[in-house]
């Protein structure tokens, strides 16, 4: 609360100074004080659209009293909004859907500024940029790894993050043997949690992970990152360390299971930590037992965690009120407390890291940000995986992987990865030539 | 038809009385039926034929679903469908639903026959059998998800009669389609039941009385009175069953999302369009499904020609 009041006071003060400015000198500064109009903001946060988001609007209007902000909350954000892009009616400010490829950004969104100019102030600018122009700014950043219940792991005698895949499997085995908990929960039925595995790209192969994957004929072979990530999931399931029936899992319930220690770990981003800590209030358990640890591999004796921006806020090309839209966008990513409230990493360069990442500091985890794609290859990665129908950021092939691993589909580890490799390479060749 | 005859009759009456105003009146009356039809026809064209025409057009492009440019690629999508065996393999899943559909018809016919005679609590039973059809498909999916999960309702029921090691109803790939097809039978049997019941009740009572006088058994009454009288409805139900089995969607999509070998053709189409951004290819798949359903209906009409009416 104290923080909120401080922010409110600050906002009022800036508002006063700004109006003072604009009345004092009329020349040119038509921005802050003079911005007015109605804007529609599309959001995926159906849970807080009528509560917390309205508080942000109240704060915002202290600075820009003439801008009205309406929200439109969409449950299946990705699916609905990517279809709506066909029309010209997709709000003024919106989160850029992931299915938009980089070269399509100029079709739908207003360029914000050059990447060069913005990256001195914001992180994750490269992630929605095309030909040197940035089209979106992240609402918050996420570090990736696995969320675990440390109390359960401590009961099994593990108090430090495993350093190798084998150590990780042994740790889960120990949890399975010595506690009542299910060591790992795949969330197979909801599907999207399976795509969280892919967010760890870069923690193994470094910032150039995507480019090196696109150059590989066989990403699913020993020594490559994709093999490390998917191989680990395969071994967890094949070793019987995951839930008994993956087809009937439930995400909302899984938060309670992890919070109460009935499940010991799930691969997720740091964004999930506050949600699961929140679940401890209803099902019992201590919030401090819930933490996120880095993936079980090290480079040069150090853990790495891939840090990436969540959805990026962009401005519709068809907005009729681009000044007001821009004002909201800038205010929301810079001056609102949204990132901190969500337990995320602030998109502003130099901001403090959130409490959820305490353990990362304790274990000396280095943050990795993916390097931007070289010019002309912005959509190469998605072109390849769409062509190959291997949805790296979806759930289809990882569900298949889990089915093979638990013996419910034909094939084995080798044949499954070989099939992925051959499809990948065919698509890669098709896209290069 | 009712509109036409209703409007032309007074028109003629008006003609005979005032020949002077003949022309404009007649023209006015000719336009009237179209005015009545304008709204439904407009809606039909706008929401059915235009989207279908669009879909056919997309199927000849490599569109990804939102790009401004839709690049024509000719028959490439269709060639891809017929040269990739995994696209057609999912029709094997439909066989489960087809078997389920026949079972469903037989059950529905049995219940309809039994309940069309005086049975104790017959209205109550009718309600019970029809009720699942009234439920929302999403709700049914969620309810059965809890029903089939390990330690769920079904396992608890089986536990009561001593079955300890229940299989994974949705987790076991050899069982998942059976479980889903059973859910589908539970849901749709009510519709068939009501259709059959209505047809059976329209059979005049005298026929049964005459049969009884001749000493017919219940089976003979069913075989020689009921079945021939409802043959049209049975034909219609068969077409619905087969096309339904080819385009199963709701129940597997909600319950398993097509995972674990329960993927049907429609789920595959959706994934192709929205997960892999291949709207062009997915549209071609939808067109192929449409043609398949039309073909099946046509074949069926050839084998089960209807005697009268235009129900099917």
pLDDT tens profile A220-240: 999 999 999 999 999 999 999
Report yes or no: A105 and A130 within 8 Å, Cβ to Cβ: yes
Specify the CATH number for the domain of residue B231. 1.10.3720.10
Question: Does pLDDT of B307 surpass 60?
Answer: no
Q: Which has the closest alpha carbon to A63: A94, A17, A99? A: A17
CB contact under 8 A, A248 and B271: no
Going by pLDDT thresholds of 50, 70 and 90, the confidence category of residue B27 is: low
Q: At what angle do helices B22-44 and B2-17 cross, to 10 degrees?
A: 170
Residue B53 within a domain? yes
Contacts of A131 (CB under 8 A, 6+ apart): A375
Q: Does B145 touch chain A (CB under 8 A)?
A: yes
The two structure tokens encoding residue A322:
């681009």
Quote the domain boundaries for residue B23.
2-58
Spatial distance between the Cα atoms of B210 and A277, rounded to a whole number of angstroms: 76
Predicted local confidence at residue B11, as pLDDT: 43
Q: Tell me: do B100 and B48 sit in the same domain.
A: no
- N-term to C-term CA, chain A: 58
Report yes or no: A162 and A244 within 8 Å, Cβ to Cβ: no
**d(CA B179, nearest CA chain A) in Å:** 13
Q: Tell me: do B102 and B52 sit in the same domain.
A: no
Instruction: Sort out which chain B residues have CB atoms less than 8 A from A396's CB and list them.
Output: 271, 275
Mean pLDDT calculated for residue range A177-199 = 92
Spatial distance between the Cα atoms of A137 and A122, rounded to a whole number of angstroms: 7
Q: Tell me: do B32 and B129 sit in the same domain.
A: no
Predicted local confidence at residue A384, as pLDDT: 93
Going by pLDDT thresholds of 50, 70 and 90, the confidence category of residue A180 is: very high
- N-term to C-term CA, chain B: 19
Residue B30, helix vs strand vs coil: helix
**d(CA B292, nearest CA chain A) in Å:** 25
| Residue corresponding to tokens 């299989």 | B167
Mean pLDDT calculated for residue range B3-11 = 42
Q: Tell me: do B89 and B46 sit in the same domain.
A: no
Of B64, B260, B278, the CB nearest to A408: B260
Name the β-bridge partners of A137.
Answer: A313
| Residue corresponding to tokens 């990513």 | A333
The two structure tokens encoding residue A145:
């790894």
- Which helix or strand (DSSP H or E) is residue A314 part of? strand A312-315
Q: Does B168 touch chain A (CB under 8 A)?
A: yes
Residue B173 within a domain? yes
User: pLDDT higher for A383 or B23?
Assistant: A383
Spatial distance between the Cα atoms of A155 and A423, rounded to a whole number of angstroms: 43
Question: Does pLDDT of B259 surpass 90?
Answer: no
Report yes or no: A312 and A90 within 8 Å, Cβ to Cβ: no
Q: Are domains A2-138+311-362 and A142-307+372-432 of this chain identical in fold?
A: yes
- Which helix or strand (DSSP H or E) is residue A16 part of? helix A2-24
Spatial distance between the Cα atoms of A325 and A140, rounded to a whole number of angstroms: 18
Instruction: Sort out which chain A residues have CB atoms less than 8 A from B155's CB and list them.
Output: none
Spatial distance between the Cα atoms of B163 and A244, rounded to a whole number of angstroms: 18
Q: Does B159 touch chain A (CB under 8 A)?
A: no
Of A100, A395, A408, the CB nearest to B66: A100
Mean pLDDT calculated for residue range B278-282 = 92
User: pLDDT higher for B275 or A68?
Assistant: A68
Of A79, A191, A409, the CB nearest to B173: A409
The two structure tokens encoding residue B218:
């219940």
Contacts of A149 (CB under 8 A, 6+ apart): A181, A258, A259, A261, A263, A264, A265, A285, A289, A290
Sequence-ordered alpha helix ranges (H) in chain B = 2-17, 22-44, 50-58, 76-83, 85-89, 91-116, 122-134, 137-148, 153-160, 176-201, 205-213, 218-221, 227-229, 231-246, 250-255, 265-274, 279-303
Q: Tell me: do B264 and B168 sit in the same domain.
A: yes
CB contacts under 8 A, B 238-257 vs A, are 256-257
Query: Pseudo-torsion of CA A353, A355, A359, A362, nearest 10°?
Result: 60
pTM of the entire structure?
A: 0.76
Q: At what angle do helices B91-116 and B231-246 cross, to 10 degrees?
A: 150
Residue B68 within a domain? no
Mean pLDDT calculated for residue range A57-76 = 91
Name the β-bridge partners of A114.
Answer: A133
**d(CA A120, nearest CA chain B) in Å:** 31
Q: Tell me: do B12 and B87 sit in the same domain.
A: no
Q: Which has the closest alpha carbon to B280: B75, B87, B86, B89? A: B75
Of A245, A386, A394, the CB nearest to B171: A245
Q: Give how far the C-alpha of residue A57 lies from the chain's centroid of Cα atoms, to the nearest Å.
A: 24
Query: Chain A residues within 8 A (CB-CB) of chain B?
Result: 79, 82-83, 85-86, 99-101, 104, 107-108, 188-189, 191, 244-248, 386, 389, 391, 394-396, 399, 403, 408-409
Q: What is the CATH number of domain A142-307+372-432?
A: 3.40.190.10
Q: Tell me: do B52 and B102 sit in the same domain.
A: no
Q: Tell me: do B161 and B263 sit in the same domain.
A: yes
The two structure tokens encoding residue B67:
């790009």
Q: Which has the closest alpha carbon to A253: A187, A303, A158, A193? A: A187
Q: Tell me: do B275 and B219 sit in the same domain.
A: yes
Residues in chain B: 312
The count of domains in chain B is 2
**By CB neighbour count within 10 A (0-12 exposed, 13-18 middle, 19+ buried), where does B32 fall?**
middle
In sign, the C-alpha dihedral spanning B250, B253, B258, B259 is negative
Of A83, A104, A247, the CB nearest to B260: A247
**Residue B81 phi, psi dihedral angles, 5° rounding:** -60, -45
Predicted local confidence at residue B21, as pLDDT: 47
Residue B312 within a domain? no
The domain limits of chain A are: 2-138+311-362, 142-307+372-432
C-alpha angle with apex A255: A252 to A256, nearest 5 degrees?
100
Tens of pLDDT along B160-180?
998 888 888 888 888 999 999
Name the β-bridge partners of A348.
Answer: A122
Size of interface A-B (CB pairs under 8 A): 76
Contacts of A90 (CB under 8 A, 6+ apart): A42, A81, A84, A108, A316, A318
Predicted local confidence at residue A198, as pLDDT: 94
Spatial distance between the Cα atoms of A175 and A168, rounded to a whole number of angstroms: 11
Of B150, B173, B261, the CB nearest to A244: B150
Q: What is the CATH number of domain A2-138+311-362?
A: 3.40.190.10
Q: Tell me: do B147 and B8 sit in the same domain.
A: no
Going by pLDDT thresholds of 50, 70 and 90, the confidence category of residue A2 is: very low
Q: Which has the closest alpha carbon to A192: B257, B139, B138, B142? A: B257
Residue B168 within a domain? yes
């Amino acid at each position: 609360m104290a923080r909120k009041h401080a922010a409110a006071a600050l906002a009022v003060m800036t508002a006063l100074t700004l109006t003072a400015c604009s009345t004092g000198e009329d020349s040119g500064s038509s921005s802050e004080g003079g911005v007015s109009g109605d804007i529609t903001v599309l959001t995926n946060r159906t849970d807080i659209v009528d509560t917390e988001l309205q508080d942000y609007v109240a704060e915002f209007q202290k600075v820009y009293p003439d801008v009205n902000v309406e929200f439109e909350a969409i449950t299946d954000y990705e699916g609905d909004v990517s279809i709506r892009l066909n029309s010209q009616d997709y709000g003024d400010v919106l989160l850029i859907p992931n299915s938009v490829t980089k070269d399509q950004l100029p079709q739908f969104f207003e360029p914000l500024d050059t990447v060069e100019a913005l990256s001195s102030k914001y992180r994750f600018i490269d992630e929605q940029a095309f030909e040197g122009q940035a089209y979106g700014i992240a609402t918050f950043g996420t570090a990736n790894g696995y969320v675990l219940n440390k109390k359960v792991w401590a009961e099994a005698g593990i108090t430090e993050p495993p350093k190798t895949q084998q150590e990780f499997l042994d740790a889960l085995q120990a949890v399975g043997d010595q506690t009542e908990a299910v060591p790992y929960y795949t969330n197979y039925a909801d599907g999207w949690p399976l795509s969280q595995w892919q967010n760890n790209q870069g923690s193994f192969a470094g910032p150039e992970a995507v480019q090196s994957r696109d150059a590989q004929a066989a990403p699913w072979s020993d020594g490559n990152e994709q093999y490390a990530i998917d191989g680990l999931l395969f071994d967890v399931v094949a070793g019987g360390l995951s839930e008994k029936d993956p087809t009937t899992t439930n995400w909302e319930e899984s938060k309670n299971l992890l919070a109460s220690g009935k499940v010991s770990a799930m691969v997720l981003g740091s964004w999930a930590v506050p949600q699961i800590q929140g679940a401890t209030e209803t099902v019992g358990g201590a919030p401090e037992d819930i933490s996120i640890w880095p993936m079980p591999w090290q480079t040069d004796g150090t853990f790495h965690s891939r840090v990436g921006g969540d959805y990026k806020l962009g401005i519709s090309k068809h907005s009729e009120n681009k000044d007001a839209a821009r004002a909201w966008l800038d205010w929301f990513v810079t001056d609102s407390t949204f990132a901190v409230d969500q337990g995320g990493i602030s998109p502003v360069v130099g901001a403090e890291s959130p409490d959820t990442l305490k353990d990362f500091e304790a274990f000396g985890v280095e943050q990795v940000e993916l390097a931007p794609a070289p010019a002309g290859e912005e959509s190469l990665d998605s072109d390849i995986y769409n062509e190959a129908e291997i949805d790296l950021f979806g759930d289809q092939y990882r569900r298949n992987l889990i089915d093979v691993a638990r013996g419910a589909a034909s094939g084995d580890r080798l044949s499954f990865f070989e099939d992925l490799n051959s499809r990948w390479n065919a698509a890669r060749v098709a896209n290069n030539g | 038809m009712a509109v036409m005859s209703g409007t032309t009759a007074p028109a003629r009456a008006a003609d005979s009385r005032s020949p002077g105003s003949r022309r404009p009146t007649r023209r006015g009356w000719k336009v009237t039926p179209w005015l009545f039809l304008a709204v439904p026809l407009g809606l039909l064209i706008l929401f059915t034929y235009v989207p279908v025409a669009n879909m056919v057009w997309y199927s000849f492009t490599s569109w990804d679903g939102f790009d401004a440019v839709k690049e024509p690629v000719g028959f490439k999508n269709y060639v891809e469908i017929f040269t990739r065996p995994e696209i057609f393999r999912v029709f094997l899943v439909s066989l489960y639903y087809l078997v389920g559909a026949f079972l469903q018809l037989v059950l529905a016919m049995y219940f309809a026959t039994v309940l069309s005679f005086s049975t104790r609590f017959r209205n109550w039973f009718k309600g019970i059998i029809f009720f699942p059809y009234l439920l929302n498909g999403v709700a049914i999916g969620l309810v059965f998800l809890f029903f089939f999960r390990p330690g769920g309702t079904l396992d608890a029921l089986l536990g009561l009669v001593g079955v300890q090691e229940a299989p994974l109803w949705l987790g076991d790939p050899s069982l998942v389609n059976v479980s889903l097809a059973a859910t589908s039978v539970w849901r749709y049997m009510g519709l068939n039941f009501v259709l059959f019941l209505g047809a059976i009740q329209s059979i005049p009572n005298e026929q049964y009385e005459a049969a009884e006088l001749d000493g017919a058994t219940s089976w003979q009454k069913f075989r020689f009175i009921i079945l021939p009288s409802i043959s049209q409805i049975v034909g219609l139900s068969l077409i619905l069953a087969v096309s339904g089995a080819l385009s199963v969607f709701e129940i597997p999509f909600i319950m398993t999302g097509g995972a674990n070998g329960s993927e049907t053709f429609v789920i595959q189409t959706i994934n192709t369009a929205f997960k892999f951004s291949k709207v062009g290819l997915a549209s071609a798949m939808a067109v192929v499904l449409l043609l398949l359903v039309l073909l099946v209906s046509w074949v069926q009409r050839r084998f089960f020609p209807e005697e009268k009416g235009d129900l099917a």
